[in-house]
Structures are given as C-alpha cells and as structure tokens.
Amino acid sequence: MQKGKDYIGVGVGAVVVNRQGKLFLSQRGVEARNERGKWEFPGGGVEFGERLEEALIREMKEEYDLDIEPIEQLWTYDHLIPDEKQHWVSPTYFCKVKKGVPKITEPHKCSQIGWFTLPEIGTMPLSLITRNDYHHLLKRYPNGLPNLDCETRKYGTKEEQVDILLPPDFQKSGQIKPLSKAWQDGDWIGTFVLWIVQDRPTPALLYQQRSLDSSWAPGKLDVTAGGHYRAGETIRDGLREVKEELGREYKFKDLTYLGRKLHLGVDVSGGELRKNLVDMFIIRDNAPLNHYHLEKKEVVALLACPLKELLKVHTRKGYSFSAQGFDNRRHPIVYTVGQDSFTYNWDNFHFKMALLAGRFLKGEKRLIY
C-alpha cells in the first residue's frame, strides 16, 4: 500500500530561515512521489508512531545532512492532487539551523537546493503546498521574516545591539545595529577575549569547547572566554562575557593586554562572513576547573591544555594528546586534542597564543600579539 494513494498520507514541511533572511528550498527530483521538478520547502512523510517534529528532523538530516530545530507549527493544509489521485495532510513548521551546511544526499529525490529571498521564491515554479506557504508568509510577515538564528542573544524582548566599527582605524561609526543585522551586512564589530593560563600543576592554557549548536565553529576548541561588546560598552565591559560564560569575576587592572587582531569567520548556517576586531587579554588563575560555572547554552566543557602539548600539536603533523577538564555539568572528562580540534584562524592564532602564554608565565612584559 502507498501513502497518499491507498490511504491519506501525512507529510511535514520545513520553512528554514537563515540570518540573511533567506529560505531554504529544494527542487523535487525525477523519483519524487509527485510534483516532480517543482521547488518546495522540503520535508517528508511521517512514519507510524513518529511525531511530526521527529519526522521533520529525521527527513532533513537524511536528505540534506542538516540538523534543524523546529520552532513553531505554522499551519496545516489538505493537500489534494486529483491528477495523481493523491491525498495528503501537510503541516508546516518554522525552523532554524542547528548545525551543518545543506547538501543533496539523495539525488534521485532532489535535483537542486538553495537559499532564496521571498521575492525570488515568488518567481519560481513551486509545489502546491509551497505556493500556499509563500502567500501565507507574505501575509503573516509583511515587514520581513523573523530571525531564528541559534546564536542571536536576546535580553528581555530586545535583540542585542552592537556598535559598528569603521576601518582603517576601527573607531565607532556612531551607527548601532542588531547583532544579527551587523553579521548579515558584513560590518566590523568589537569583540573581547580573555585567555586564562595556569602554572600549576603544569603550565596550561584553558580552552572552552563551543556549543554544538553554535552557528560558527560548533564543537571546536576556542578562547577561554569572549564575546561581542554591546552598544555603548567600553573595553572594560568585556569582562561581562567572562562572568556570563565561566562564572568568574576579575578586576580589569589584573588583566594583561595582548593587543588587537582581526578575525574573520564563516557562518555555517547562512554562509556570511563575520568580521571582528578582537581585544585580547590574558590572566593567570590556578583555580580548579570544577570551580567554574559554565554557561550551558554557550560552553560544552572547559579543558586544561598543557603548553608543551599545544606546541607539539601545532608543529607535528598528526600529533594529538589527551586534555582533562570538566563539562558544563561539572563532570570530569578527557578530550582528545588534534590539529583539527581548534576554531579556524587565518594567522596561526592558537600556535601563537601557546607561545605567548609560555612567555607570560616566565614573567615577560610587553607581550603584544
């Protein structure tokens, strides 16, 4: 027996929006059950005993290797195709990308994929359900689609605002934008990072493992703590990020300034380039790692990476080592660190920081990155 023909089928669809305000569509392949060659918000059939959201998550992973999170059920249609004698019930969900870059894994079902604006979608040959979705989206969001990015931070009901910096001297331009809009527009924004180094029981840099839901470098090892300045904040206010992510409080006068660097990172969900001017600091703190209070939404774990092992992993091809630490539930863990464990930086950032940390612990002054 066939779904939709011998009995009414249930097919769930995903309206996935990225930070650029574009929607993910796929073109139905030659072996699709119906409406071949039409563009659609993707999805699939619901299996017996499967919840709607579970089916949607499974289908997106199977067909596009994309991890999504359904946010809201939008509407449900009776999908009748008389010419093909098919009858489906089709709920549609608003979704965001949790992890991954979409790709076609089942080419017999899908011939093309892409991200499109609402005006672009209006000119495309759409499936019946997607045509209905399109018109409903225009009515529901006349001022533009909501931002569902997993890293958009909200304080109360207002999205975080940031100051826009202008090269070549990167002073504040006087313009303020929501963080997601600044990323979308390719603006330069200010960022604060703090490296914590230990000299007992062995010289080590503390690394945080980024959230697996992060839209930049998910699961990778990154600076001990850091984040973007909010609009109006000064360099001293960057310590707010340390308290939020690690639950630790330091005095600004106790930090050692390492200078500034430019950082470029590609977002995995929307593909845009993030541009950051980074103020870098370092401090010595030998507190046990289980004394830190990690922000669960941002940090998976905190690891102590011995400096001598970091130097080896950055200079010896294929080298790896085991780092000890605690996860965000304060459970002890052991993590295998290799050359591909770190966030990408164009300037050998992590190797340079291992060298600087060693010089810092030896008491050297004027440590400029």
Domain coverage including residue 46? 9-140
Average pLDDT over residues 240-247: 94
Q: Give the tens place of pLDDT for each residue, 57-84.
A: 999 999 999 999 888 888 887 877 777 7
Per residue in 311-322, is it b (16+ CB within 10 Å) or e — as a string?
eebbeeeeeeee
Q: Which of 10-14, 202-206, 216-220, 229-233 has the highest mean pLDDT?
A: 202-206
Q: Which of 121-135, 142-156, 319-333 has the highest mean pLDDT?
A: 319-333
Domain boundary among 140, 171, 195: 140
Residues 113 and 194 in one domain: no
pLDDT surpassing 80 at residue 151: no
Q: Give the tens place of pLDDT for each residue, 284-340.
A: 999 999 999 999 889 999 999 999 999 999 999 999 999 999 999 999 999 999 999
Residues 210 and 256 in one domain: yes
Residues 354 and 222 in one domain: yes
Structural domain contains residue 4 = no
**What total of structural domains would you count in the chain?**
2
Can you give the pTM of this predicted structure?
0.61
Give the per-residue pLDDT at 157: 37
Give the per-residue pLDDT at 140: 77
pLDDT surpassing 60 at residue 158: no
Residues 132 and 81 in one domain: yes
Structural domain contains residue 68 = yes
What torsion, rounded to 10 degrees, do the Cα atoms 133, 134, 140, 144 define? 140
**Count of CB atoms within 10 A of residue 38's CB?**
19
Give the per-residue pLDDT at 6: 64
Structural domain contains residue 148 = no
Residues 260 and 198 in one domain: yes
Residues 168 and 118 in one domain: no
Q: Give the tens place of pLDDT for each residue, 38-56.
A: 999 998 888 888 889 999 9
**Count of CB atoms within 10 A of residue 286's CB?**
11
